[in-house]
Structure 1
Amino acid sequence: MEPTETHIVGRLLLSSALVGYAVVTLRADLGETHATNPRWLRHARFHVVWQSLTNAAIILLGLVLIWWPGPMLRPRLYLAGAFGAIILGTFFVTTLTRSLFGGGLRDAEGEPPLRLDLGPATTTFDANVVIFTILSIILLAGVVTITL
């Protein structure tokens, strides 16, 4: 099947979601608040680097599936979308179950929450949840677009 304009839009949306996730997580997880944080246990730092590199490799494979010329374009696009859905979906599952293992969305020296001032009231949002929600919407839009 030859790529159509719809496929190009879908490919761009899928790629944007995957690259967005890679940039955000690699920047945070391999930085001073996570992988090189001396207050973290050495084994926890090992796991965050391993997880980050695994996710980056999966994202790279997803990008190859999206842009490599050849047959079976639609199934490859669905598979790349599934990779993104697994990575982003497991973030949300972990977020919802963090009380089971004593996890937190952020550390004190991590990214501060996003603040929204609405007159006298201030609402805060976790930056990871906001960013990954936006990336999930972009990913979903890409999957929907390739089904058209």
Structure 2
Amino acid sequence: MTKKIAITFSVFLYAFVVPYLDINETHVWNPDWTPHARIHEVWQLITNSSIGVVCLWLVWYKKEGRLSTLLSLIVMGGFLAAFFLKDGYDGSMKYLDGSEKTVLGINLAVLGFGIAFLFLLGSHLFTKTKRTTLNDV
């Protein structure tokens, strides 16, 4: 059950919380973003949310956790990699006004995705029961 909770928690963050936070003037309707950048943002939101729905279906209805775990790790790991590589492409988590959402000095998205990534990875590594199913988890 720990693996199901870890998958569900991670999917909740990237498939539902992120779109809720990004469909506004800071991202999708940001007047300072080019239309090309906005289409990439909406594409990413739709893709990640769709992957999340598939992951929930896999883990709760098909009882298959390996693929769901892998897909969730790819989505969250992709964000974390982009964050840590940000200096190489002049990226930032700060808004144009210089503000940034932080908790204890750590960017909120990095903190949330980092915790979810580690929870998901740990639950996968420490709750291996059957090769392809979650029937016993």
Q: TM-score, normalised by structure 1?
A: 0.77
Unaligned residue ranges in structure 1 (runs of 5+): 1-7, 117-123
Question: 2: distance between equivalents of 1:132 and 1:115?
Answer: 13
Q: Deviations over 1:69-101 (max 9, x none)?
A: 4xxx4xx20100001100111111111211221
Partner residue of 1:129 out of 110, 119, 136:
110
**8 Å CA contact 1:33, 1:110 repeated in 2:** no
Change (3 A) 1:14 1:112: same
Greater per-residue helix proportion: 1
The answer to whether residue 3 in structure 2 is matched with residue 10 in structure 1 is yes
RMSD: 2.0
Partner residue of 1:37 out of 30, 36, 41:
30
Residues 1-148 of structure 1 correspond to what in structure 2 (within 5 A)?
8-69=1-62, 73=63, 76-109=64-97, 112-114=100-102, 116=104, 124-148=105-129
Task: Name whichever of 57-66 and 138-147 sits farther off.
Answer: 138-147
Give the equivalent residue in structure 2 for 1:119: none
Secondary structure of the corresponding residue to residue 38 of structure 1: coil
Aligned residues: 129
Question: In structure 1, what residue type is equivalent to 2:24?
Answer: G
Q: Is the radius of gyration larger for structure 1 or structure 2?
A: 1
Question: 2: distance between equivalents of 1:13 and 1:63?
Answer: 11
Secondary structure of the corresponding residue to residue 107 of structure 1: coil
